[in-house]
């Protein structure tokens, strides 16, 4: 069997004030059944737009100009505004694919008890009687760590703390037994203790559900805890991608990945000083002609700024989109360079 999810050559433009700005460019990655992939990048790198493109829930000023998706063996054309494909995508939402948003309040209905919302999600998938679905909803609420689920099932969104809302949303997202869960930084709005609890919840759910997980975050420490594989985005371009997380952490190929690692305290190696990447990411209207990271890159050479990095080379599930990757002594990266 092929992968659970394959995104191939996704390019997305945004119409802003008469201009057409490129927000995602030739983005490709794949996710196996039961695999967790971290989609990492700074604010504005295109993480949320990538998830929205997969769900077919894009802002009205977005146009997908290229992109093919294969989900669980079914192929979708994300570009060309295909109405038929959009309808097929819509049918996947909530059952085949579900999404956990950054801000739970946008996903929960304020006038319906939270438990009912989980019940609805259960019934969309399974033909259960409502009372059975309610029992299952309570079971799910316990599974996500809501202790007095029998009472909380009748609570309204506004009666719950941020951490509880997030747990309810996760319960609703897994209620339809999705094959793929998309997560958009579900812990950023929460305090550190609750963040930790939610993260260990995900680790637990991974074992329980065997669903694929695409987890968006700017935090490499979270990826280290949760994910098997990683895709690093910068300014709408994939910088580096690997089926094996450890190889990227031990031996980053792209200077941007290396800089990100150096600026992450939890995965920083002992003896290294914490680093902060100088400068800031380019705005969409001001993207450089060449590698988008070149203006901030310590390893920049003249050819970096002249043109986009050419075709990706893949060696053992590892891609480094860079003309002058770091770690030249590493056999893996060396191979990637030669293959170009």
**For binding to ligand ATP (CB under 6 A), which residues are involved?**
14, 16, 23, 41, 43-49, 59, 61, 218, 284
Collapsing DSSP states into helix, strand and coil, what is residue 62?
Answer: strand
- Contacting residue, 45, 48, 166, 235, with Mg ion by CB under 5 A: 48
When the beta carbons of 170 and 294 are compared against Mg ion, the nearer one is: 170
CA contacts within 13 A on the Cβ side of 31:
28
* Cα–Cα separations (whole angstroms), residue 245 to 152, 320, 338: 38, 13, 22
In the complex, minimum distance from the CB of residue 20 to Mg ion, in angstroms, rounded to a whole number: 21
Are 220 and 261 a contacting pair, CB within 8 Å?
Answer: yes
63-102 residues near Mg ion, rule: CB under 5 A? none
5, β-bridge pairs: 31, 71
In the complex, minimum distance from the CB of residue 41 to ligand ATP, in angstroms, rounded to a whole number: 6
14 binds, among Mg ion, ligand ATP, none (CB under 5 to 8 A by kind): ligand ATP
When the beta carbons of 53 and 170 are compared against ligand ATP, the nearer one is: 53
Are 31 and 1 a contacting pair, CB within 8 Å?
Answer: no
Report the candidate in 317, 326, 300 with the shortest Cα–Cα distance to residue 242.
Answer: 317
E-strand spans in the chain? Answer: 5-16, 19-31, 36-40, 62-71, 74-77, 97-100, 180-184, 212-217, 229-234, 237-242, 314-315, 318-320
Asked if 217 interacts with Mg ion (CB under 5 A), we say no
**Location of structure tokens 């100088």:** 278
When the beta carbons of 103 and 268 are compared against Mg ion, the nearer one is: 103
45 binds, among Mg ion, ligand ATP, none (CB under 5 to 8 A by kind): ligand ATP
When the beta carbons of 182 and 294 are compared against Mg ion, the nearer one is: 182
Long-range contacts at 135-138 (CB < 8 A, ≥ 24 apart)? 136/175, 137/171, 137/175
Q: Count the site residues for Mg ion by CB under 5 A.
A: 1
In the complex, minimum distance from the CB of residue 333 to ligand ATP, in angstroms, rounded to a whole number: 26
In the complex, minimum distance from the CB of residue 61 to ligand ATP, in angstroms, rounded to a whole number: 5
**Location of structure tokens 């695999």:** 35
When the beta carbons of 187 and 247 are compared against ligand ATP, the nearer one is: 187
Per CB under 5 A, the segment of 40-48, 91-99, 162-170, 310-318 that binds Mg ion is 40-48
In the complex, minimum distance from the CB of residue 182 to ligand ATP, in angstroms, rounded to a whole number: 12
Question: Where do contacts with Mg ion occur on this chain (CB under 5 A)?
Answer: 48
């Amino acid at each position: 069997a092929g992968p659970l999810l394959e995104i191939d050559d996704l390019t997305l433009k945004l119409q802003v004030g008469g201009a057409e700005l490129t927000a995602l460019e030739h983005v490709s990655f794949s996710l196996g059944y039961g695999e967790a992939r971290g989609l990492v990048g700074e604010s504005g790198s295109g993480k949320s737009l990538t998830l929205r493109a997969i769900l077919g829930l894009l802002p009205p000023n977005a146009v997908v100009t290229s992109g093919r998706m294969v989900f669980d063996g079914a192929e979708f054309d994300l570009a060309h505004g295909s109405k038929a494909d959009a309808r097929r995508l819509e049918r996947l939402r909530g059952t085949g694919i579900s999404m956990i948003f950054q801000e739970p309040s946008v996903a929960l209905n304020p006038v319906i008890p939270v438990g009912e919302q989980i019940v609805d999600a259960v019934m969309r998938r399974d033909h259960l009687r409502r009372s059975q679905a309610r029992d299952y909803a309570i079971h799910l609420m316990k599974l996500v760590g809501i202790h007095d689920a029998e009472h909380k099932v009748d609570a309204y969104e506004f009666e719950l703390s941020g951490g509880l809302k997030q747990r309810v949303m996760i319960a609703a997202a897994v209620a339809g037994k999705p094959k793929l869960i998309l997560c958009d930084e579900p812990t950023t709005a929460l305090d550190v203790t609750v963040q930790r609890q939610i993260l260990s919840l995900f680790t637990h759910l991974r074992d329980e559900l065997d669903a694929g997980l695409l987890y968006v975050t700017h935090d490499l420490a979270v990826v280290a805890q949760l994910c098997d594989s990683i895709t690093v985005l910068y300014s709408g371009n994939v910088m580096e991608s690997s089926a094996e997380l450890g190889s990227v952490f031990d031996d980053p190929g792209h200077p941007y990945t290396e800089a990100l690692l150096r600026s992450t305290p939890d995965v920083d190696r002992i003896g290294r000083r914490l680093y902060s990447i100088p400068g800031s990411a380019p705005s969409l209207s001001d993207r450089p002609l060449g590698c988008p990271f070149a203006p901030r890159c310590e390893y920049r050479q003249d050819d970096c700024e002249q043109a986009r990095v050419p075709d990706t080379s893949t060696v053992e599930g590892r891609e480094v989109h860079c003309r002058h990757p770091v770690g030249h002594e590493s056999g893996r990266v060396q191979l990637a360079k030669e293959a170009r």
